[in-house]
Structure formats: structure tokens, C-alpha cells
Amino acid sequence: MNFPLKNLENHLKESWLLSGEELHEEGAVSGLVELERNLWVGRVKDREVEVQLSPSRVKAYSCDCPEFKKEKGCGHIAAALFYLRNLLRQRLEVKEPVKKPLSDKKISFLQHLQLIPSDDLIDFVRDYARQNRPFALALKARFTGSLPLEDRREKYLELLDSAITGIRNKKDQVGFRGALQLAQVVRELLNQAEEAISGNHPKEASILLTSVLEKVGPLARKTTGKDNKLQQTLKDGFALFKQILLLKPAPELLQMIWEFCMGESRKFIYRQSLIQADYLNLLGELAPSLGKTEELLEHFKAINSDLDPKDPNRPDILILIHKLLVLQGDVTKIQENLLDHLHEPSLVLYAVEEALATGHWKKARFLAEKGLESSNTSALSGRLEEHLFELALKEKDREAVIQFGVSRFLQSKKPHYLEHIRKFARKEWPQLAEELLEKLEAQPYSLHKRDAIARLMYDEGRFDSLFQYIVRLQSLDLLQQYGKQWPPERAEEAERLFMEILPGYLNNHLGRKPSQRVREVLENLFEAGMNEVADKLLARFRTDFSARQSLMEELETFHS
């Protein structure tokens, strides 16, 4: 995403723009402030929005409304952008002209700092920090590590306590702005940890990371809003711990990290939180080098026995137990553990992929079929079916190729499955294709479904059905894709398709974007050698839509 704020109408959906204009005119935008340079946050009708500029272009945006989660855009974002555009224009209008300096030689910011007496600069920073809490926290985060302190970890903990104070709301939740403010402090500490790792100082990095995880970890589950920056900073912290292990630190430091992770992983607050799984994964990497595989195995089993069956950490723990058993090399225990947990599809999927990687096809097929019986999510079922489909292709199992190929195609809509199904179905393919079309039609509408139906009709030469389908949907996308590929012997039908769809599209869509899309269709027609159809459309547009200024401007590309 990268477009000029002044031209936002050319880059957002019309539905977002219409909704955004209404919200903006109603005064629904409130509290939109520049939290940091070019990062604007605020609310639009009880929804939190965030916009990143650079400085006159839109680089990124987010909103916590359901529409944004689904479509990656919404009216709230459009309203915020309208508001920002007006605000920035007003600032430019009222900005006083810059007075020319008396001297041609300009004084840089660095020179200013060098000219200011140290005592005055210290007084200014102290006074400004008293008035600006985020600045004070940023200052402490930046320089705590460079102070000559005996117990630096204690100072990091005090800093984090100070940053956490006051960011919870009445419901004991951490709001968007509070989380963002804390995340900035944490990010500075993580940057220092990364520098320590780069400088081969694993102990200093460990002090920083344990401080961050101990204090901020319990807050992660209390954050609200879609864009959870705290969760991401914690993930980054665990990733840095793994970088420390690559430095092969002293056993004493490894033991310190081990004890910290063991203690944190037992905390009740992390139950039903994925942070617990991060600690357990880190323990899994520490155990072999410390000779604690058996101890960790018992720890995992104890945690697993206390977990609710629906706990999100359960799949990770079962996989970690399996990994430790494999590390110990006891084949009997590995098999017993798998047989005891054939009803756990996540573990079974891991074991299937493990078996495939080592060439044990029969074992992989058995496990995948068992996992499919107990799978309770479409994502897991899809991956297991994918493995069974690939195994069926290797073994040339006709029935399995058709069974799992059909299932995967109906779920994913990817056309390569059709090639394999057609090859193995042979004489049964025409009937099977008809059944696939019926099953696709019965599914809820989506662009993937639309494209899959059109592709299947085209590949099977069902041009009458495809013609009716494109007309029924009034789809410009399908028209562009298949209209110029219509069989030459049915050229009149292709012309009729364009003459019916494009005027209807213009009748139902206003603005610059629809005009641009129509121009693109005409350009494609000329490139495909369908000049006669393109000329007829041009003549009709110039007659029937002469009042559409944006369309006439786009059609100027084509000479009369």
C-alpha cells in the first residue's frame, strides 16, 4: 500500500468512500492525533483506527471493525483519511512564510545542541520529561542499560512497572493507545537486546529479555483491539532468545534461562494463552544441551494432564512430548503415544508430515486417515486430505485420487486438482464434472467459487452455460478473462456478451474507477484483434454516455 493522500478516491472502494464521507460529515472522527511522527491514531464512531503516512502518502492503515478484518478496508478508514487530508491542507494554508535568515550560513540541529550549555539542556530535558510521560519512558528505556548499576535487571523491572502504571482501564483491560505506548518502550529494550546479541553479549541480552517477558507477558491477554503490538513484541522476544542459544552461551547462563522459563511456564495466568506454548518450545530447545530431556518430558506430561481439552496450548504440548520421545529414540513409547492420541488431529498431522519426510508412506497414510476421522477444523482436514491426495497420486490409487481430489477442489477451488481428477476418472469425467458444478453452485457465493465455476465451464466447452453465467453475474472480471478467448466460430456470441455487459456495468457504477476499467477492457480488445467489437462499443459509449465526463476523458485515448 502506497498512494497519495490527496488522491485517496482513486484507491479506495466506492462503498468505503460513500460510508466515509457520511461519517466525516457527521463529525464521527474524534481524537485523531499524531501519536508519533506520521503515525495517526484516533476513533471513528467508537472504532479505533490507525493511519501511517510518509508524509503525504498513505503507507498503512488499520481498524478494529469486522468489515476491515474481512476486506482490509472500511468506511472508518475512509473517514479518517478525509479528515486527515483536510487537516493537513489547513495546516499548509495557515503556515507562515519562512523568514530568510540574516546570514546565509544555516545552523544545524547538531550545532544548536553543541551551542546550548549542558546545564540548560539538562534542565530542558528534565522539564520536558515531567510534562511528557511517553518521552520520559523513552528516555529511561534508551539509557538504563548504559548506567553503572549493580542490579541492572531490577532497574529494567522498575522501568517496565513505570510504563505499565496507568494503562489499564476500568475493566482491567489494556486499550489500544496504552498497548502502543508500552510496546514502544518494549521495542527499545528489544533493540538493545538485539545489539547485545550482535556484540556477543548473551548475558546482557538475557537480562533484558527476561525482564520484558516477566512484566509484559501477563498483560498480553488483557489487550484489546485487532492490531496487538504487544503480542508481536513478545513473539520477537522469544525469537531473540533463540538467537542467544545460537551463540552457545555458558552452561550457567543456559541454566538461568531454563529456570526462568520453567517458572514462567507454570504460571496459571498463561493457561489458555499461546505465550505458554512459546515458553515450552524454548524449553524444548534448551533441554538437550542441559541433559534435561527426561525432566522436561515429565513437566510436559504434568501440564498436559491439567489442561482443559479445548486449551489452545494442548496441540503444541502433545507435539513437544512426541518430539522429546523421538529424541530419546524409544520406538515403543513413540508408537504407544501416537496410538493413545489418534484422536488429536494436530499431533497426527505432525506425525504424518514426519513420516512423509522419512519415506514411510504406509504409516503416513494410516495416520492421515485416522486424523481425518477426528479432525474438527477445515484447515486441519484440508492439510490431511492434501497429504492423502499426494500419496494417492504416488500410488496411482484411482478411487483415492478422485475422492480427495474432489474434496480438495471443492474446498480450495484450485484448478490443478481438476487435471488429475479428469485423468483418473476417464469415461466418468463428464458426469463427475456435472456433479462438481452442482456442488459449487450450492456453496455460498465467493470470488473463488465464481472463478472455479467459470473455469470448469470454459475447460469443458460449455459456452452456452458460461455465457448465461457471466450475464447473470454481470461480471466484468469474467468478461475480460473469457470474452476474448471465445471460440472464433462463436464470434457473434462474444460480441453480444460485450455489448450486453459493459453498458450495464456503466449504468450501475459511477465515478473514475469504472471509467478506467472500461478503458482497460477496450484496450484489451484492440490488443486481442477484436477491433470491430471495440469500435462498436466506443461509438455506443460516446452516444449513450456523453454526459459522463470521467468516461469521456478516459476514452480520449482512442481517436474518433
pLDDT for the residue numbered 269: 82
pLDDT for the residue numbered 364: 93
pLDDT for the residue numbered 489: 86
Sign of CA dihedral 379, 383, 389, 390: positive
**Cell output for 367:** 495416520
pLDDT for the residue numbered 271: 75
pLDDT for the residue numbered 170: 63
Q: Per residue in 293-302, pLDDT tens? A: 999 999 999 9
pLDDT top residue among 38 and 235: 235
Q: How far apart are CA 164 and CA 150, in angstroms?
A: 24
CA angle 470/476/478 to nearest 5° reads 50
pLDDT for the residue numbered 149: 47
pLDDT for the residue numbered 102: 43
Q: How far apart are CA 304 and CA 19, in angstroms?
A: 49
Q: Per residue in 480-495, pLDDT tens? A: 888 888 888 888 888 8
Q: How far apart are CA 34 and CA 39, in angstroms?
A: 6
Strand 39-44, strand 57-63: pairing: unpaired
Residue range 97-108: mean pLDDT, rounded: 52
pLDDT for the residue numbered 143: 54
pLDDT for the residue numbered 419: 93
Q: How far apart are CA 63 and CA 504, in angstroms?
A: 34
Judge contact between 521 and 527, C-beta under 8 A: no
**Cell output for 498:** 460485450
Q: Per residue in 417-468, pLDDT tens? A: 999 999 999 999 999 999 999 999 999 989 999 999 999 999 999 999 999 9
Asked if residue 65 has pLDDT above 90, the reply is: no
pLDDT for the residue numbered 162: 78
Strand residues in 282-362 grouped as ranges (E): none
Residue range 242-257: mean pLDDT, rounded: 92
pLDDT class for 153, splitting at 50, 70, 90?
confident
pLDDT for the residue numbered 31: 77
pLDDT class for 110, splitting at 50, 70, 90?
low
Strand residues in 192-284 grouped as ranges (E): none
Amino acid at 557: T
- Share above pLDDT 70 across residues of the chain, in percent, rounded to a whole number: 86
Asked if residue 13 has pLDDT above 60, the reply is: yes
Q: Per residue in 495-523, pLDDT tens? A: 888 888 888 888 888 888 888 988 988 88
- Share above pLDDT 90 across residues of the chain, in percent, rounded to a whole number: 35
- The burial class, CB within 10 Å (0-12 / 13-18 / 19+), for 109 is exposed
Q: How far apart are CA 52 and CA 40, in angstroms?
A: 6
pLDDT for the residue numbered 352: 94
Asked if residue 249 has pLDDT above 50, the reply is: yes
Strands of 29-36's sheet in order across: 3-4, 57-63, 47-53, 39-44, 29-36
pLDDT for the residue numbered 180: 78
**Cell output for 189:** 529494550
Helix (H, G, I), strand (E, B) or coil at 557: coil
Q: Which own/partner pairs from 280-286 qualify as long-range (CB within 8 Å, at least 24 positions apart)?
A: 280/313, 280/316, 280/317, 280/320, 281/238, 281/316, 281/320, 282/238, 282/241, 282/242, 282/257, 283/258, 284/320, 284/323, 284/324, 285/242, 285/245, 286/245, 286/254, 286/257, 286/258, 286/261
Strand 47-53, strand 39-44: pairing: antiparallel
pLDDT for the residue numbered 94: 61
Q: Per residue in 371-394, pLDDT tens? A: 998 888 889 999 999 999 999 999
Show the 3-state SS of 485-524. Answer: HCCHHHHHHHHHHHHHHHHHHHHHCCCHHHHHHHHHHHHH
Q: Per residue in 306-363, pLDDT tens? A: 888 888 888 899 999 999 999 988 899 999 999 999 999 899 999 999 999 999 999 9
Range picked from 19-33, 42-56, 377-391 for highest mean pLDDT: 377-391
pLDDT for the residue numbered 114: 63
pLDDT class for 365, splitting at 50, 70, 90?
very high
